[in-house]
Amino acid sequence: MTVERNTPTPTLQQQIEHLQAAQADQLPATLRAALADQTDALIRSGVAARSLHEGDQAPDFTLPDALGRAVALHDLLSRGPVVLTFYRGEWCPYCNLALRAYQAILPQIEALGATLAAISPQTPDTSLTTVEMKGLTFPVLSDAGNSVARSYGLVFTISEAVRQSYMQVGLDLAAYNGDSSGELPMPCTFVLAPDGTIRLACVDPDFTYRLEPAAILESLRALAPTGLRRESSH
Between 70 and 227, where is the model more confident? 70
The pTM of this model reads: 0.90
Flag whether pLDDT at 26 surpasses 90. no
- Helix spans in 29-92 (H): 29-45, 73-77
Q: What is the pLDDT of residues 52-84, one digit of tens each?
A: 999 999 999 999 999 999 999 999 999 999 999
Which CATH superfamily includes the segment(s) 27-226? Answer: Glutaredoxin (3.40.30.10)
Q: Which amino acid makes up residue 112? A: L
- What is the DSSP pairing of strand 70-72 with strand 62-64? antiparallel
- Give the pLDDT score at 24: 83
**Stretch among 100-109, 121-130, 154-163, 188-197 having the lowest mean pLDDT:** 121-130
Per-domain residue ranges of the chain: 27-226
Torsion of CA 213, 65, 119, 224, to 10 degrees: -40
Flag whether pLDDT at 13 surpasses 70. yes
User: What percent of the chain stands above pLDDT 70?
Assistant: 93
pLDDT, mean over the chain: 91
- Give the pLDDT score at 25: 82
Determine the average pLDDT of the residues in 229-234. 53
- What is the DSSP pairing of strand 62-64 with strand 198-203? unpaired
User: Minimal CA–CA distance to 135: which of 99, 109, 107?
Assistant: 99
Q: What is the pLDDT of residues 136-193, one digit of tens each?
A: 999 999 999 999 999 999 999 999 999 999 999 999 999 999 999 999 999 999 999 9
- Give the pLDDT score at 34: 94
Flag whether pLDDT at 6 surpasses 70. no
- What is the DSSP pairing of strand 188-192 with strand 183-185? unpaired
- Give the pLDDT score at 58: 98
**40-48: long-range contacts, CB 8 A cutoff, minimum separation 24:** 41/159, 42/156, 42/186, 42/205, 43/205, 43/206, 45/156, 45/205, 47/153, 47/156, 47/186, 47/205, 48/186, 48/203, 48/204, 48/205
- Give the pLDDT score at 232: 54
CA distance 77 to 193: 8
CA–CA distance from 178 to each of 167, 172, 181 (Å)? Answer: 15, 10, 9
- Give the pLDDT score at 1: 46
User: 230: pLDDT confidence band, cut at 50, 70 and 90?
Assistant: low
Torsion of CA 217, 133, 10, 88, to 10 degrees: -70
- Give the pLDDT score at 172: 93
